[in-house]
Amino acid sequence: MLPFRSDPKLRELYLNAAGHLRIGRLLEDFDSFAGQIAYTHCDDPGDPKAEPITLVTASLDRIDLVKPIPTDKDLMLRGCVTWVGRSSMAIAVTLSGLPGDLDAKDAMRVAAGQPPSVPVPPETAEALRSAAHVGRADVAPIVRADFTFVARDADDKAVAVPPVVPESPQEKALHTAAADARVTRSAEKLTTLDKSPPTPDELGLVHRLFADLRALTAAGKGPRPPPTRHLGSVAPPLDEPQDGVLPPVYVASTAIESTVVTFPTDRNIHGKVFGGWLLRNAFELAWTAALRFGGSTPEFVAMSDIAFLRPVEIGAVLSFRAAVEFAKGAPHRTASVRVETTSLDPRNPRAAQPTTNTFHFTFEFPAACAAGAHVARAFPQTYEEAMAWVAAHRRQQAGLRLRSKWAMEGGEPLRV
């Protein structure tokens, strides 16, 4: 429960300087809540001799802001295991409002099957207990998230997890959707750009980028070459708008970095760096990169394909690098930012620094667009950057298909 209306002190902890919700803080809650669901599902209190298992976040498949998050209302986090493989499980988490003016404490009692302090209509109780929103707009999801967790034993070997048996129509619908999503993701892995070349249509898009870049450069309106970066240098300023339109930039010019030392206060129950902490830090750097690129306050839309490639040890020095990887320019409204995290081991500081996480965020710039300005266009220079552009285009198209479906359930369509 996030009782922003009932608890002003809690609300203060979740607000940024502009009075808007701190999305990074919310991401921490989502990851922690999903972990609780995973452990509850695998817990076997009837078998005290059961071997302890470790459940870790393998990936955050998607998080979508379906509609604006109110900061003056009590909100509820809900979630459940929707699909189970042999040693992995899919977990869906939603943030939603409460029906009517129901008190946050009473909502918790009803959701837990306990009697509330005031009478609650049966349909309201059903909506609160259901894993789905059963058609009620007042408790329809505001934010949707899909996680994948995996189970490991003390030797880091895969461990079978209990099955999930959907019973109600809503649970069956969630299970079917999760199973379909697994099939889709498995198929997509076979055609990733590190295994297969782009499709002919995608190659056509890349060629169009090349042709447009040549035309802009010939007209004296091309992007400024990215400067050489030196140790200790700061990100160079980007060009100011021309006639209300931000000039194009190279992807490399949008990059910013941060370095953070991890401490014991950042650990999870397994003694590693908490995944939610990584999400928050990555989001805040991505938001900063988007702010600098867009020239106005960015608003979070979605994140997808978040990979937790390896655990991060406490004490590691983490380097976060964020750069805009996809922005089609006017008249489009959004930009995608990639964040990559590498880890330096203080016990062996000259060793290679492996990539621990990759994140992909999508932002829009409604204030700038409402004022008649538009998002700048980001051009790749290298083949690797072009392939990242194509991969981001694929994620955008997948997101549009989902958002079109959710728009029919009360969410807002994505304006790209």
138 or 86, which is more confident?
Answer: 86
With respect to residue 415, please indicate whether it lies within any of the assigned structural domains. Answer: no
Task: Work out the pLDDT band at 47, boundaries 50, 70, 90.
Answer: low
What lies within 8 Å, CB to CB, of 122 at 6+ separation is none
Which letter does DSSP use for residue 204 in this model? Answer: H
Residue 226 confidence (pLDDT) = 81
- Stretch (H or E) spanning 95: strand 88-97
Reported as a single tens digit per residue, the pLDDT across 298-321 is 999 999 999 899 999 999 999 999
- Residue 195 in tokens: 């295994």
Whether 362 and 399 have beta carbons less than 8 Å apart is answered as: yes
What lies within 8 Å, CB to CB, of 416 at 6+ separation is 328, 332, 333, 334, 396, 400
Give which of 335, 302, 265 is closest to 402, Cα–Cα: 302
Q: What is the DSSP track for 370-398?
A: HTT-BPPBEE--SHHHHHHHHHHHHHHHH
Give which of 252, 303, 243, 247 is closest to 278, Cα–Cα: 303
- Residues 384 and 238 both lie in one domain: yes
Whether 310 and 354 have beta carbons less than 8 Å apart is answered as: yes
Per DSSP, the three-state class of 405 is helix
Of the candidate ranges 16-20, 218-222, 244-248, the one whose mean pLDDT is the lowest: 244-248
- Residues 105 and 218 both lie in one domain: no
Domain of 26, CATH number, reads: 3.10.129.10
- Residues 242 and 283 both lie in one domain: yes
Task: Work out the pLDDT band at 168, boundaries 50, 70, 90.
Answer: confident
- Residues 42 and 165 both lie in one domain: yes
* Phi and psi, residue 307, nearest 5°: -105, 125
Best mean pLDDT range from 112-116, 137-141, 185-189, 405-409: 185-189
- Residues 255 and 130 both lie in one domain: no
Q: Give the CA angle between residues 9, 11, 16 to the nearest 5°.
A: 115
Amino acid at position 157, single letter: K
- Residues 221 and 142 both lie in one domain: no
Please state the rounded mean pLDDT for residues 271-288.
95
Kindly tell me if the per-residue pLDDT of 15 is higher than 70: yes
With respect to residue 210, please indicate whether it lies within any of the assigned structural domains. Answer: yes
Kindly tell me if the per-residue pLDDT of 21 is higher than 50: yes
With respect to residue 187, please indicate whether it lies within any of the assigned structural domains. Answer: no
With respect to residue 102, please indicate whether it lies within any of the assigned structural domains. Answer: yes
Say how far apart CA 95 and CA 77 lie, in whole Å.
5
To the question of pTM greater than 0.85 for the whole model, the response is yes
Give which of 393, 401, 357, 32 is closest to 180, Cα–Cα: 401
Give which of 397, 396, 416, 386 is closest to 206, Cα–Cα: 386
pLDDT cut 70: percent of the chain above it: 86
Please state the rounded mean pLDDT for residues 204-213.
96
- Residue 214 in tokens: 């040549």
Residue 133 confidence (pLDDT) = 46
- Stretch (H or E) spanning 171: helix 169-190
Task: Work out the pLDDT band at 116, boundaries 50, 70, 90.
Answer: confident
Please state the rounded mean pLDDT for residues 359-381.
86
With respect to residue 93, please indicate whether it lies within any of the assigned structural domains. Answer: yes
- To 10 degrees, the CA torsion angle through 286, 291, 293, 299? 80
- Residues 216 and 153 both lie in one domain: no
What lies within 8 Å, CB to CB, of 27 at 6+ separation is 63, 276, 279, 280, 283
Query: In the block, which residue shows the tokens 């129901």?
Result: 102
What is the average pLDDT score of the chain? 87
- Residue 80 in tokens: 């459940």
Whether 410 and 137 have beta carbons less than 8 Å apart is answered as: yes
* Domain count for the chain: 2
- Residues 253 and 391 both lie in one domain: yes
With respect to residue 193, please indicate whether it lies within any of the assigned structural domains. Answer: no
Which letter does DSSP use for residue 265 in this model? Answer: G
With respect to residue 185, please indicate whether it lies within any of the assigned structural domains. Answer: no
Say how far apart CA 246 and CA 327 lie, in whole Å.
12
Task: Work out the pLDDT band at 400, boundaries 50, 70, 90.
Answer: confident
Amino acid at position 413, single letter: P
- Residues 143 and 232 both lie in one domain: no
- Residue 106 in tokens: 């009473």
Which letter does DSSP use for residue 341 in this model? Answer: E
- Residues 210 and 99 both lie in one domain: no
Kindly tell me if the per-residue pLDDT of 130 is higher than 90: no
Domain that holds residue 300: 200-407
- Residues 240 and 125 both lie in one domain: no
Please state the rounded mean pLDDT for residues 258-268.
94
- Label the pairing between strands 141-152 and 54-65: antiparallel
Say how far apart CA 174 and CA 80 lie, in whole Å.
9
Kindly tell me if the per-residue pLDDT of 231 is higher than 60: no
Give which of 387, 367, 355 is closest to 251, Cα–Cα: 387
- Residues 156 and 207 both lie in one domain: no
